[in-house]
Structure 1
Amino acid sequence: LGRGGMGVVFEGYQQSTGRRVAIKFMLDAALASEAARKRFEREVEVVARLQHPGIVSIIDSGVRKGKYFYVMEYVEGRPLDLAMPAGQCNIHDAFRMMIQICDAVDYAHQRGILHRDLKPSNIIVDHAGQPHLLDFGLAKLVEDDDGKEGHGKLGLTMSQPGQLLGTIAYMSPEQAAGKNEETSVRTDVYALGAILFELITGELPIRMGGSLKEILHWIAEEEPTLPSKLRKGLDRDIDAILLKPVEKKPDNRYATAGEFAADIKRYLAHEPIIARRVGPMGRSWRWVQRNRALSTAIAVASVTLVAVSTALILQILSETKRANDEAKNAKEQAAIARSSAAEADRQKSKAEDNLKRAQENYRILSNILKSAVDENQAAVSVDKMLTQASDRLDKTPPSTPQTESDIRATLGETMMRFGLFRRAIANLSRAVEVSEKAGLFEESPESAEVIHNLAAAYWWDGQYDKAESYYVRSLDMRRRLFPGDHRDIALSLTHLAACRLRQGRVPEAKELYTEALDMRRRLFGQEHEQVAASLNNLAKCYQEAEDDATAESLFRQALEMITRVKGDKDDGTAAASYNLASFLLERGDAAGALDHFS
């Protein structure tokens, strides 16, 4: 049935009961090692005391013709990674499977036994969907608080200081460092987290390419990629649940496998999870989802509008303010330049039209949002509400193309802020298309902003070639609108440079970053947070080009400047410290990196 480093497993038949069994024989080569033999004996003793439907039980054991063996119940099924293909399985099914696995592991933990080699191939899923744990060959008894091992001693501990035990792909940082004396319940929690991370995202929390030394370093130091970046449709709660068990520090993980399972159950029940703090608004959302009959549409509409007001309505209010400013400016021009009265009247009329347009957009968008909530008669997530608002806009667009274009531009920008990049692309593209088809599209700061946002949405979605074409279009438009130096041009240069850096076009990126830096120095002076940001961007470009000396110099200049300008408590200063620390760590300067990470 299978073969490992210590033994080989055969299918067998127990004559006395007539049932199929699995028999594990210790390999002859393993017999040469006293430690391996004792580990085999210990596995028998460990599993014999565990009686749980999620753990394969031992029926018999002994020595036959000098060969050590034990007999297990036969489980017909497939290993977890075959039963649930990684990255393709249903997320809720994966969660429910992990709850069952955690229950079995927690049972063993409560009896003082750590598994220490949890991995998909050691979990067999039967035809009923029930997982069964196998292979307790690396199991270890946990000591009770009084220093005695739980449920009686098993004799020698096979793990020696500095010895690597377990399968490296699912190995915790403390195991990877050979600190077996530090292994605990949270070590198995890490492995469970790595298994679930891989099941849902299709990727392990750490890279596996490279030398053993490199992999061990990554296990100890490299932070996992955000799960929602690896698989579309994952929300922030799922990110939190997947990242907490694979924290580098054991104290930051779930305390037990049972606690891990309980948090998954909370998520499935729409309750607040413990993996991240939930504020009053978040708690309200979850309460309403669990008590739909007790919520009213009016209350929900209010909560929903409050939740998105800062992100969604600010742009419209900004348009209103700009329209008012334009109207005021037009009046002043009329008073000052009587000879240009006609032009002043035209500017005033245009400003008033813009104000009416902004007010109408606000009214229509508010109605769309309220309708999206009323349709559910209960709380909806912000993501869902924005999606439903977009769908409603598709079904019943506003009467004028300009209004539809304006609303889609606002909705698209907001969706991008919430990480709904595909939806953002659809709405921003439609905003441009509607405006162009109606002959309303004109070169203006607002139009350049819409094109820039569309490029950014493509960039965040990983479509760099499409992003580049729109970044170029926005930059060209801004150069025509603002001859000379302008902060919007510097921003476009920076974004286009970042895009080309992702495309591997390092020399072109460096040229654009340098132009943006020079422009910001002319605009803001030698000491400014925008100048510091440009220095930091240019440093990353030199780092990519493997010019470490120049990169380090620029990272340090950026940090020193932002510290002088904003102080050492500013978020920008923290970000610059982090960037320098990451660079130093990559170069192997752990001490220097630690100082700046601190």
Structure 2
Amino acid sequence: MMSSNAPGNPPRRPTREELEAIVRGATMDSEILSYLREHDSDGSVQKQLEEIRSEHGFLEEFLDANQDALSTTTPLTMQPAPEGYEILRELDRGAQGVVYLAHQVSTKRRVALKVILQAAFATERQQQRFEREVELVASMKHPNIVTVFDSGVTPDGRMFTAMEYIDGVPLNLYRLHDEPGGQAAMTTRERVDLFLKVCDAVNSAHRRGIIHRDLKPLNILVDTDGEPHVLDFGLAKVVGPDAMTESAMDATAAGEFMGTFAYASPEQVSGDPDLVDTRTDVYALGVILYDLLLGQRPYELGGNVHEMIKGIMETRPQAPRELDPEFDRDLETILLTSLAKDVDRRYQSVHDLADDLRCWGSGEPIMARRDDAWYVLRKFVSRHRMPVGLAACMVLLIIGFAITMAVLYANVTLANKRLAGMIGMASNVIASADPENTDRPFTAATAIDMLEAWSDVVHDEMADEPEIRARILNDLGESFIGFDRHGLAQTHLEEAQHTLVDLDPEPDLETARSLHQLGRLAYKRAKYDDAELFFSQALAIREGLHEEPHIDTAQSLHYLGSTYR
């Protein structure tokens, strides 16, 4: 690994030996990464890297063509198999190892036999990672994480591990299209349900302090029963108490890039391993889900390493609705939240991501938009269309009746008991328009129009009945708070309070109600000192006028407590 330069000095140009090591499978040192990103403006180092890669590819072809004459590259299928195993065929080959399909004699089951490169050529770090992967996967028990059965050393000194053989395809290829005479392509709901099983597996690893760091479709195989399996924990990072066991490895790996560029998060390519945490896996899962639902990645990566890193750090993911205007808005929000460049704006855990996907599946509000009151109201209405529709019709009839009666009785004295009953009914009707009143939901647009029309009636027709006018102004102010019309709410509540003070300087329960609602309004505006003052005044009035414990007193006390933060 390259030695660190003094702070502030530009990284030195990487040597050919260092570039050759990268081509052979070594991870990329932070200084090389920094040089390619910031100082290889003419692309000369990138060009040299491509030339070495081309030469390396030619050498591999040469070795393959002459493997009979080169004992060091003899495949395992032509050598004595590990004791207790029969090699059937090669499944996959990478820069650091080979995977074979094998038969475990003792259990008579087929296994995937992962073998490290020829021992003489395997680096100490490769061997360390191989051993650690065996330990990590063996420590996890989850139906959607591949199981390790055995590990050891081949007769020629290569390290191997025998794990569960998954006869399947990568996640992004599973039921991608309709199969003639077979299964149809997955629906969006089926893709999300399948992805949720992956989330559960990754979350299980996170609970054990294991961050995968290389999640991608090739590392998630779906078997013939439609069950996904997460594999290849070779680049995993351990956090928490178990991290002590890998401190030596981390000390030499600091600054390296680990992962796959197409699914890497901004913090992964930053060169600082301390920035990598469980949210790094959230980002990779976001890329995977985007590809699963839209058939492409959220942004294109191309060119040299510098351009790829710049794309990961800066390129905005394309909004799904820009590709498909019919794409579900909540799913779009979930995808873009999981792909946030700023880790603090991303889902803070895979569990949170999975929770929002489950909320989407059940039609409930998702966490990523739960601070949007109008959105929550729309979700409620969409889930209860029939009862809300019937309720809306009934409320409209009641509103029309209530307004008519209010105008007809505007000049009747307060002693008229029938008018008092009508006022109670009017208050209930206004309350039914409050989106925070879950017992009587109402459509937002109709409610706002109704409230503003009623406000005009109160001001034009009830000037001679100040007590009635004050009560209805309180009702209107309370409902405007629920719809986040803060300016209208403050106007109506302050007018109600002034009207009541003009009627009688001694405060009554209606005055307490105005003060309590002004406290709610101040709290919503994050004016906590003002909220504390209003709630204290309302509480004092209610405690003085209610001889017995009362729900209104408890409510003011509860809200007052919430301001002490």
The two structures have a TM-score, normalised by structure 1, of 0.48
Cα distance in 1 between the residues matched to 2:394 and 2:160: 66
- Structure scoring higher RCO (CA < 8 A, sep ≥ 6) equals 2
Equivalent residues, number: 303
1:39-438 equivalences under 5 Å are 39-65=129-155, 66-85=157-176, 89-143=186-240, 148-149=241-242, 153-154=245-246, 156-158=248-250, 160-291=253-384, 294-297=387-390, 299=392
Cα distance in 1 between the residues matched to 2:260 and 2:444: 40
SS in 1 for 2:326: coil
Cα distance in 1 between the residues matched to 2:225 and 2:356: 24
Cα distance in 1 between the residues matched to 2:102 and 2:443: 55
1:538-549 equivalences under 5 Å are none
Residue type at the aligned position of 1:187: T
Over residues 280-303 of structure 1, what are the superposed CA-to-partner deviations in whole Å (9 max), with x where a residue is unaligned? 332122223444564333528999
1:30-41 equivalences under 5 Å are 31-41=121-131
Residue type at the aligned position of 1:201: L
Cα distance in 2 between the residues matched to 1:6 and 1:277: 46
SS in 2 for 1:45: helix
CA contact (8 A) 2:116 2:122 kept: no
Cα distance in 2 between the residues matched to 1:69 and 1:78: 23
Cα pair distance change 1:104/1:86, threshold 3 Å:
farther
Moved more, 30-39 or 90-99: 30-39
Cα pair distance change 1:273/1:302, threshold 3 Å:
farther
Over residues 93-116 of structure 1, what are the superposed CA-to-partner deviations in whole Å (9 max), with x where a residue is unaligned? 221111110000000000010100
CA contact (8 A) 1:6 1:30 kept: no
Residue type at the aligned position of 2:309: L
Over residues 306-344 of structure 1, what are the superposed CA-to-partner deviations in whole Å (9 max), with x where a residue is unaligned? xxxxxxxxxxxxxxxxxxxxxxxxxxxxxxxxxxxxxxx
Q: Alpha-carbon deviation of 1:9?
A: 0.7
Q: Alpha-carbon deviation of 1:236?
A: 2.0
SS in 2 for 1:149: helix
Cα distance in 1 between the residues matched to 2:231 and 2:96: 14
Moved more, 94-103 or 284-293: 284-293
Residue type at the aligned position of 1:268: G
CA contact (8 A) 1:289 1:379 kept: no
SS in 2 for 1:62: strand
1:22 match: 112
Over residues 253-299 of structure 1, what are the superposed CA-to-partner deviations in whole Å (9 max), with x where a residue is unaligned? 11111111010000111111112345333212222344456433352
CA contact (8 A) 2:338 2:346 kept: yes
Residue type at the aligned position of 1:62: G
Q: Alpha-carbon deviation of 1:89?
A: 4.9
Higher Cα Rg: structure 1 or 2? 2
CA contact (8 A) 1:31 1:37 kept: no
Cα pair distance change 1:19/1:177, threshold 3 Å:
same
SS in 1 for 2:282: helix
CA contact (8 A) 2:188 2:293 kept: yes
Q: Alpha-carbon deviation of 1:161?
A: 3.0
Q: Alpha-carbon deviation of 1:154?
A: 4.0
Cα distance in 2 between the residues matched to 1:257 and 1:104: 10
Q: Alpha-carbon deviation of 1:85?
A: 3.3
Cα distance in 1 between the residues matched to 2:173 and 2:300: 21
Cα distance in 2 between the residues matched to 1:264 and 1:380: 26
The two structures have a TM-score, normalised by structure 2, of 0.50
Q: Alpha-carbon deviation of 1:6?
A: 1.7
Cα distance in 2 between the residues matched to 1:19 and 1:78: 20
Residue segments in structure 2 that go unaligned for 5+ positions in a row: 1-90, 179-184, 397-440, 446-565
Cα distance in 2 between the residues matched to 1:92 and 1:224: 22
CA contact (8 A) 1:140 1:157 kept: no
Over residues 351-395 of structure 1, what are the superposed CA-to-partner deviations in whole Å (9 max), with x where a residue is unaligned? xxxxxxxxxxxxxxxxxxxxxxxxxxx99999xxxxxxxxxxxxx
Cα pair distance change 1:157/1:274, threshold 3 Å:
farther
Cα pair distance change 1:251/1:301, threshold 3 Å:
farther
Q: Which has the higher helix share?
A: 1
Cα distance in 1 between the residues matched to 2:177 and 2:291: 6
